[in-house]
C-alpha cells in the first residue's frame, strides 16, 4: 500500500461503499447484514478470517451476539456457525477503548487443540484489525478482520475500516432494532395466546401450567414459581413450582418474613437479579427448595400479583445462567402476573362455589364424595411424581352418648366443634372431609408419616382441650389412625383402609390416642 492512494483505489472504495448502502437497505436480517458488511471489508482491505458481533457495554447484561464469523479453511471461505463468544475478548475491549487498532505477530504459534479451526489448523493469524461499530455516541458492536500474512494491515487501512464501521452502523442498528421489535412482537403474541387460555380456564393447576409454558416460550426459565399469600396468617402459600427439567414440586407454606416471595409481597415490587452478587445486595433471605446438591440459580425475575391494591402473591422465573434477564423480560413477566392474579382468583371463586355443592350440610367441610375425588387426585399425583402423601382417619369417641344423653342438637354441636378445631390446626392445602356420622378424614399432601403423626397428635390434643359452653358436657376425645402411601399401597381405598385399621387400633387400646398403621397389625 502506497502512502497516497491511487485514483483507481479511491474509485473502487467509493463503489464498495455505494454497493454496501444499497445492499444494507434491502435487508432486514442482521446476519445477512453482517455478511454484506464483511464482504465489503474483504473488498476494501482483504481478510482470511473475520467476524462481526453486537455488543453494547452500556447495557446491564452486556450480552454478546455473534452475527457472522468466517474463516479460510483449506483454501475455502467458510462460515463458523457453531462458534460464538461468551464474553468480550481483551482485543474487543481494547478496540472499544482506543477506537480501533492494528497489530501483527512475528511468527506462527501453535494453535491450542480446543481452539476453533483457523486455516484448517495449519495457519495462524499474523495480522489483525479491530474496530468498534459506533452509532452516534453508543457502541453497538465490534468488527475484526485477520490475515495469515505478516504486516498485512496498516494505519491507513484502519482508517478505512473505521469509515466502513461508521458507514454501516446506522443500518446495522436499524436491522438490529427491527429484529428486536419483531422478536418482541412474537413474544407478545405468545403472551396474548397464554392470557386468552388462562382467562378461559377455571382450574388452578391448568392455569399455572399455561403460565409456565408461556414463560418458557418468551424468556430463559429453568425454575418457575407461583406463590400465593395468606394475609391473615402472614404466610406464603406455594401454588405451583417447576424445577428443571420440568419437575413439578409440591412445597409447604412458610411465614412471609423471609424468602423471595416474602420480599415481593411485603414491598409489592418486582425484582431483577442477574448474579449472586445482585442477590446478596438485595438483602433477601432466600428460601431455596432445590433438589440439586448445590443451588444452581444465578438469575431471578420476580413480579408481584396485586389484586385490589393488596398483595396476592408472586410469579418468578429463574435461570441457572448469569445475566439471563433484561428489563424487557421483566415487563413481560409483570404483564403476565397482572392477568395471572385475576385468573387464579376466578378459579378460587369458582372452586368455592363448587365447594357449596361438595360440602357436608352440617359442618361445611368436604362431603364424602368430594373428599374421595380430591384425595384420589393427590394419590395419583403421589404415584406419578414420587412425593409423600399421608392420611388421617379420626373418629369421635363415645359419640352416641352425646346424642343419647344430651340430644341431637348437642351431638351436632360436638361435630361442629371438632370440625372448627381441626380446620384451625390444618394447613390450607390439606384435604379435610366428613365421611359420615362422627368419622372424619384428612389427606396430607407432600407429608411424610412422621410429620403426619405429629399433625394427628396436635389435632387430638386440640380437640381434647376444646369445650362446649355447657359445663355438664363430658370432654370430647377422638381416636386417630394414620397411614402413608408407601410403595406397597396400590390404591386410595387401600390407604384409607389402613388409616381406618389404625384408628380402630386406637379405639381398642383405650381411645383418645394416635396410632400409625403397621403391616403386622
DSSP assignment letter at 25: H
Q: How far is CA 442 from CA 158, 430, 466, 484, 493, in A?
A: 78, 7, 19, 12, 14
- Please name the helix (run of DSSP H) or strand (run of DSSP E) that holds residue 396, with its range, or none: strand 389-396
Q: Which residue has the higher pLDDT, 225 or 19?
A: 225
**Which of 395, 414, 392, 388 is CA-nearest to residue 475?**
414
Please report the pLDDT score of residue 110 as a whole number.
42
- pLDDT of residue 111 exceeding 50, the answer is no
The residue among 81 and 397 whose pLDDT is bigger is 397
**Residues 86-113, mean pLDDT to the nearest whole number:** 79
The residues facing 240 across adjacent strands are 226
CA distance 112 to 331: 43
Grid cell digits, residue 360:
357436608
Contact criterion met (CB below 8 Å) for 305 and 327: no
The string of DSSP codes covering 292-351 is: SSS----EEEEEEEEETTEEEEEEEEEESSTT---HHHHHHHHHHHHHHHHHHHHHHHHH
More confident residue, 415 or 199: 415
d(CA 98, CA 94): 6
Query: What is the predicted pLDDT for the residue at 385?
Result: 85
Contacts of 95 (CB under 8 A, 6+ apart): 101, 130, 131, 132, 142, 144
Give the pLDDT of residue 170.
85
* pLDDT for residue 122: 59
Contact 55, 124 (CB under 8 A): no
Q: State the pLDDT confidence band at 228, using cuts at 50, 70 and 90.
A: very high
What percentage of the chain reaches a pLDDT higher than 90? Answer: 62
Sign of CA dihedral 191, 58, 52, 93: negative
Calculate the CA 517 to chain-centre distance: 39
Q: What is the pLDDT of residue 204?
A: 92
pLDDT, tens digit, 9 for 90 and up, residues 11-48: 678 888 888 889 988 888 888 989 999 999 999 999 99
Q: Tell me how far apart the alpha carbons of residues 98 and 510 are, in angstroms, rounded to a whole number.
A: 88
Q: What is the pLDDT, as a whole number, of residue 63? A: 62
Four-point Cα dihedral 40, 43, 49, 51, nearest 10: -10
How far is 396 from 161, CA to CA, in rounded Å?
A: 89
Residue 9 pLDDT exceeds 70 = no
Distance (Å, whole) CA 366 – CA 355: 7
**pLDDT at residue 316 in the model:** 98
pLDDT category, 369, cuts 50, 70, 90? very high
Residues linked to residue 313 through DSSP beta bridges, in sequence order: 228, 305
DSSP-H helix ranges across 79-153: 90-98
The mean per-residue pLDDT over the stretch 284-307 comes to 89
pLDDT tens for each residue of 265-274: 999 999 999 9
pLDDT at 108: 54
Q: Which one has a higher pLDDT value, 487 or 359?
A: 359
User: What is the reported pLDDT for 5?
Assistant: 55
pLDDT at position 486 is 86
Q: What is the mean pLDDT of residues 242-247?
A: 90
In this predicted structure, what is the pLDDT of residue 2? 43
pLDDT digits (tens, 9 = 90+) for 316-345: 999 999 999 999 999 999 999 999 999 999
Closest CA to 315 of 248, 225, 214: 225
Return the pLDDT at 45: 95
Amino acid at each position: 500500500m502506497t502512502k497516497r492512494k491511487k485514483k483507481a483505489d479511491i474509485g473502487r472504495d467509493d463503489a464498495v461503499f455505494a454497493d454496501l448502502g444499497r445492499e444494507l437497505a434491502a435487508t432486514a436480517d442482521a446476519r445477512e447484514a453482517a455478511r454484506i458488511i464483511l464482504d465489503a471489508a474483504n473488498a476494501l482491505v482483504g481478510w482470511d478470517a473475520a467476524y462481526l458481533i453486537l455488543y453494547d457495554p452500556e447495557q446491564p447484561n452486556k450480552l454478546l451476539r455473534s452475527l457472522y464469523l468466517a474463516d479460510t479453511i483449506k483454501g475455502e471461505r467458510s462460515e463458523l456457525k457453531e462458534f460464538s463468544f461468551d464474553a468480550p475478548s481483551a482485543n474487543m475491549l481494547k478496540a472499544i477503548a482506543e477506537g480501533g487498532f492494528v497489530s501483527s505477530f512475528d511468527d506462527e504459534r501453535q494453535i491450542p487443540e480446543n481452539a476453533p479451526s483457523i486455516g484448517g489448523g495449519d495457519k495462524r493469524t499474523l495480522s489483525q484489525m479491530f474496530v468498534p461499530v459506533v452509532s452516534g455516541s453508543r457502541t453497538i458492536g465490534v468488527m475484526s478482520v485477520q490475515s495469515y500474512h505478516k504486516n498485512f494491515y496498516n494505519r491507513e487501512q484502519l482508517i478505512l475500516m473505521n469509515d466502513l464501521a461508521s458507514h454501516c452502523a446506522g443500518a446495522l442498528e436499524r436491522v438490529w432494532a427491527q429484529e428486536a421489535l419483531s422478536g418482541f412482537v412474537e413474544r407478545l403474541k405468545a403472551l396474548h395466546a397464554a392470557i386468552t387460555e388462562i382467562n378461559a380456564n377455571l382450574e388452578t393447576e391448568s392455569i399455572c401450567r399455561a403460565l409456565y409454558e408461556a414463560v418458557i416460550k418468551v424468556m430463559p426459565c429453568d425454575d418457575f414459581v407461583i406463590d400465593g399469600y395468606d394475609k391473615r396468617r402472614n404466610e406464603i402459600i406455594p401454588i405451583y413450582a417447576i424445577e428443571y427439567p420440568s419437575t413439578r414440586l409440591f412445597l409447604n407454606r412458610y411465614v412471609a418474613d423471609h424468602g423471595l416471595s416474602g420480599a415481593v409481597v411485603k414491598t409489592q415490587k418486582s425484582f431483577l437479579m442477574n448474579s449472586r452478587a445482585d442477590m446478596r445486595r438485595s438483602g433477601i433471605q432466600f428460601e431455596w427448595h432445590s433438589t440439586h446438591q448445590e443451588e444452581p440459580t444465578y438469575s431471578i425475575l420476580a413480579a408481584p400479583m396485586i389484586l385490589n391494591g393488596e398483595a396476592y402473591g408472586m410469579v418468578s422465573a429463574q435461570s441457572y445462567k448469569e445475566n439471563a434477564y433484561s428489563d424487557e423480560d421483566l415487563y413481560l413477566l409483570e404483564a403476565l402476573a397482572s392477568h395471572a392474579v385475576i385468573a387464579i382468583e376466578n378459579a378460587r371463586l369458582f372452586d368455592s362455589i363448587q365447594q357449596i355443592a361438595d360440602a357436608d350440610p352440617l359442618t361445611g367441610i368436604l362431603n364424602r364424595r368430594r373428599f374421595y375425588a380430591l384425595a384420589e387426585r393427590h394419590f395419583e399425583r403421589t404415584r406419578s411424581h414420587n412425593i409423600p402423601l399421608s392420611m388421617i382417619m379420626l373418629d369421635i369417641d363415645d359419640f352416641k352418648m352425646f346424642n343419647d344423653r344430651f340430644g341431637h342438637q348437642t351431638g351436632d354441636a360436638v361435630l361442629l366443634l371438632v370440625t372448627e378445631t381441626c380446620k384451625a390446626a390444618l394447613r390450607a392445602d390439606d384435604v379435610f372431609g366428613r365421611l359420615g356420622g362422627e368419622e372424619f378424614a384428612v389427606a396430607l399432601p407432600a407429608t411424610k408419616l412422621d410429620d403426619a403423626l405429629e399433625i394427628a397428635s396436635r389435632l387430638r390434643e386440640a380437640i381434647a382441650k376444646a369445650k362446649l359452653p355447657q359445663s355438664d358436657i363430658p370432654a370430647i376425645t377422638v381416636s386417630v389412625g394414620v397411614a402413608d402411601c408407601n410403595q406397597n399401597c396400590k390404591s386410595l381405598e387401600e390407604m384409607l383402609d389402613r388409616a381406618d385399621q389404625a384408628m380402630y387400633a386406637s379405639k381398642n387400646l383405650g381411645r383418645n390416642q394416635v396410632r400409625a398403621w403397621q403391616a403386622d397389625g
